[in-house]
A and B are shown apart, each in its own frame.
Chain A
Amino acid sequence: MKRLLAAIVVIALLAVPALGQAQTPRPGGTLNFMAPYGGDLLGLDPHKCTRIQEFLVLMNIYRSLYRWDPDKSMPALDLATQVDVSADGLTYTYHLRKNVKFHNGRLMNADDIIYSYNRIADPNLKSPSVRFVRMIKGAGDVIDGKAQTISGLKKVDDFTLQMTLADPVDPSFSLREPGTAIVPKEAVEGKEDAFNTSAPVGCGPFKFMRWVKGSEIILEKFPDFFMAGRPLLDKVVYRIASEASARDMAFRAKDLDATIVEGAQYEAYKNDPVISKNLIEVAEMFTRGVAFNMDFEPFKKKEVRQAINYAVDRELIIKKLLKDKAFLATSWLPTSSAAFDKTSKPYPYDPKKAKELMVKAGYPNGFAIDQAIGTGNASWGVVVYEAMLPFLKEIGITLKIQQMEGAAMVERLKNGEFQTFIWSMGSGPDILGTLKRFSAENTRAGGNYFNYKNPEFDKLLNQAAAERDPAKKLDLFKKANNLLFDDPPLWFFNYNKAVMGKQPWVHGLKPVAIEMMFQDMTEVWVDDSSPRAKQK
């Protein structure tokens, strides 16, 4: 009997912590989050914004037709429950949710979507999101001022929308952009300024409460959100906190519930017994590397560009300089992209092969690069050039490094005034979009800073764009990406390893590959141990 009792006690004791771990989402409380990128928000009108800094907040006030599903790393329907696609891939019929309410209490219907897309295309608004609706049939005419409304959008009934496209492209990548959010006409018309600064109305899980300019922006729970029982938090505070060291202090003081982790803190956080268990990591869709200007004589030789890729021990640089806060880059498309070829291998560190290639290219003694430009960034700035110097010296290449500030560098890139530049460039999520950067049709101003031209690549890309079968399409993208690897426009360095640290009481934050800060707060919750668990 005693033994039985003892066994029961032991089992009970073991069960208690187990129960504690399997917590059910708890409603209530405040989450102190941050907006860490470059100063105050510029506005709250989603159709006028462009920066991650605004969208990371706005995506929780507004909703778009699609959303990004961080679990599948693909777009998913959000405001519609089902979509029927015609055989030619040009007509999309959306069956909208019937219970989506705006923060002003009105039900959302097909007219709101039509209004929003028309507003984005309106040349008087000058929306930077224009490029996301351009693929809808007739949008081009509106953008050019030749028509008032987009002809490809038709309301079948209140909750059915028919959209015709100009080309058979997948609209989900564009229409999940936070810049294509659906807004109610009555909250915008005639109140443009207030809508942008003090009275935004969306249909997202949180509604706008207060914006202390330059300091913080506060959202509160929208009880009529279309998902029952969601959101869980009562309030989300976005602190404008661009100083990494100050953010670190606030996080350690438990004043911030989560923080984006930069290189300087990563090592310390990894060694901290509590914080190290609460780090979220993901390979973000940004590819970093040293880009080659194809107009510079030596870079016209493919062998030279390959040689540089062989010559540098990038693994060592990532380990020593970046303290492992990066994933080794294998190709242009990141590992988190659906078109990433899992069988591909990165360029190995092979100085012998590099020398051979230099000889083959006709540069046995190397050459000098006089304009190697870059920013002061700690993980993809000029410091990386400095780390590369001894390796490049081995194949006779010398660098004259020039550090400049971001805005100044973009200008130089657009005019082609460089021989190499080092930067972090978006390489997703839209596969076609990111590969088009290297299309011969693309200009320097349009993102092909390299002036890269490869007819074979262009052919593959056009085939992929025209292909209707998703599997074959992905296969063509893979081939195009492998071609970029073989005829490299850049020295592949790394994919950003985005790291977010959270307090132990925060649950539901996800590794988001498009941008770690794009956290959908719908499912995020805090348990009882949060100091702000009861704060309204």
Chain B
Amino acid sequence: MAAYALRRLIQFIPTIVGVTLILFLLLNVLPGNAALMAGGAQDTNVDATYIELMKKEWGLDQPLHTRYLDYMSRLLVGDLGKSFLRREPVAGLLASRIWPTLKLAVVAMGIAVCLGVPLGFYSALRQGSWADTGSMVGAVSGVSLPQFWLGLLLMFLFAVKLPILPPQGYGDGAARNIILPGVTLGVGYMALLARTTRAAVVEILNTDYIRTAQAKGLPAAVVNRKHVLRNALILVMTTAGLQFGGLMGHTVIVEKLFSWPGVGSLLVDSIFQRDIPVTQGCIMFLILVFLLVNLAVDLLYAVIDPRIEYR
């Protein structure tokens, strides 16, 4: 298994190189640049000499390939560069934002797993009943709700009408601040997970080995726990794992809406400000998380299902 993990880790390298290349090209062909943004382009007349000075300082006057090679050589030694506009190292900026995003993602995922999986399981066992139909209608709506709208709705209900929760902000990191953004982010995933679980369980319930188990007189509870749940978990875990990897990058809207100090809001700000090093750093981080979570999910298969073995 260790050998397999190592092999997978090595496979990350071409993926990352490819991503950096595409990202670098995209960001650099975008019109506009940070110097103009920093020069306060919109406010008043801009000091042209200042803009030239900054372009030079940031190496924006160099040809594209020189800049790319320079960026890659620094990346190799783990240097993400320095933010154009914040005049701070990107690594430090990113580090201060990881914890809030991680917290948000974990809370959202917790809501999704703790509610979505039992809901899907319950629906599958009572196929066709009103409870099944009801919860699946709910799930479809949950998947289709725009986060932005849901977030505002929750704010309106729990901060304006029933003022029991803060409408936005990180506060001092207190639990009450995370409830609204966590739920907003979690609902869609919960719905998706409920549907996946239901589909998996329904499929398993129709297999021969379940019929055998039921025929030999095993109590329903034992069948469900030992045979259905365990088999369904593989599929559910894949979905949940992939979701979690993506979740870190999907916090953007929720973070902006709730003034949440995470990687997502840093990423959006940096794109609008054309702060290329920060954008690159954020995306790099999100991709790494995605790859690592996928690897972790693959490795976990072996733990849950003894038939799967990595060589």
Contact = CB atoms under 8 A, between A and B. Distances in A.
Interface string B265-280: 1101100111000000
Interface stretch (B235-243, B252-260, B302-310): B252-260
A40 B269 contact: yes
B93 to A, nearest CB: 8
Nearest to A412: B31
B87 A196 contact: yes
B50 A131 contact: yes
A240 B259 contact: yes
A48 B169 CA distance: 27
B134 interface: no
B30 A408 contact: yes
A405 B159 CA distance: 33
Interface string A209-249: 00011111000000000000000000000011111011001
A42 interface: yes
B38 A50 contact: yes
A233 to B, nearest CB: 18
Given A52-B43, A213-B97, A246 B265 contact: no
Given A39-B265, A240-B259, A254 B33 contact: no
A453 interface: no
Nearest to B54: A126
A213 B261 contact: yes
Interface stretch (A315-323, A351-359, A440-448): A440-448
A407 B50 contact: no
Interface in B55-114: 57, 85-88, 93, 96-97, 100
Given A215-B170, A240-B259, A128 B40 contact: yes
Interface string A424-447: 111000000110110000110111
B274 A407 contact: yes
Interface string B28-52: 0011110011111111111111110
A214 B97 CA distance: 8
Nearest to B177: A215
A249 B160 contact: yes
Contacts of A245: 152
Contacts of B50: 126, 128, 130-131
A252 interface: yes
B61 to A, nearest CB: 14
A246 B54 contact: no
A252 B152 CA distance: 12
B167 interface: yes
A445 B48 contact: yes
A211 B184 CA distance: 25
Contacts of A404: 31
A51 interface: yes
Contacts of B155: 246, 249-250, 253
B209 interface: no
A426 B274 CA distance: 22
Contact of B32 (A50, A51, A52, A408): A408
A249 B152 contact: yes
Contacts of A409: 32
Contact of B159 (A197, A255, A424, A445): A255
A193 interface: yes
Contacts of B54: 126
Say what secondary structure dominates the interface of chain A.
mixed
B75 to A, nearest CB: 22
A40 B265 contact: yes
B4 interface: no
B21 interface: no
A51 B88 CA distance: 17
Interface residues of A, number: 58
A315 B261 CA distance: 42
Given A42-B86, A246-B152, A411-B33, A437 B45 contact: yes
A43 interface: yes
A241 B42 CA distance: 20
Contacts of B51: 445
Interface string A34-72: 000011101100001011100000000000000000000
Contacts of A412: 31
Given A50-B38, A241-B168, A252-B160, A447 B44 contact: yes
A447 B88 CA distance: 29
A255 B168 contact: yes
Contacts of A197: 88
B86 to A, nearest CB: 5
Given A193-B88, A213-B97, A239-B169, A434 B44 contact: yes
A445 B168 contact: no
B47 A411 contact: no
B269 A424 contact: no
A346 interface: no
A447 B46 contact: yes
Contacts of B255: 214
B150 to A, nearest CB: 12
B146 interface: no
B48 A443 contact: yes
A251 to B, nearest CB: 9
Contacts of B97: 213-214
Contacts of A131: 47, 50
B132 to A, nearest CB: 35
B138 interface: no
A75 B158 CA distance: 44
A410 interface: yes
Contacts of A255: 159, 166-169
B16 interface: no
Contacts of A414: 36
Contacts of B18: none
A406 interface: yes
B262 interface: yes
Contacts of A52: 43
Nearest to B89: A193
Nearest to B274: A407
A50 B48 CA distance: 14
A254 B169 contact: no
B40 A408 contact: no
A246 B36 contact: no
Nearest to A197: B88
A214 B257 contact: no
A40 B170 CA distance: 13
Contact of B259 (A126, A130, A215): A215
Given A42-B85, A241-B168, A243-B256, A446 B45 contact: yes
A359 B270 CA distance: 50
Contact of A215 (B36, B38, B261, B269): B261
Contacts of B118: none
5 contacts: A39-B265, A215-B259, A249-B156, A252-B160, A434-B44
In order of increasing CB-CB distance, the 8 nearest A-B pairs are A407-B32, A214-B261, A39-B269, A447-B45, A408-B31, A215-B170, A253-B159, A215-B261
Interface of B: 30-33, 36-51, 53-54, 57, 85-88, 93, 96-97, 100, 151-152, 155-156, 159-160, 163, 166-170, 255-262, 265-266, 268-269, 272-274
Given A215-B170, A246-B152, A411-B33, 19 more contacts: A40-B265, A50-B43, A215-B100, A215-B169, A250-B167, A252-B160, A253-B155, A253-B160, A255-B159, A407-B32, A407-B33, A407-B274, A408-B31, A426-B45, A434-B45, A442-B45, A445-B46, A447-B44, A447-B45
Interface of A: 38-40, 42-43, 48, 50-52, 123, 126, 128, 130-131, 193, 196-197, 212-216, 239-243, 245-246, 249-250, 252-255, 404-412, 414, 423-426, 433-434, 436-437, 442-443, 445-447
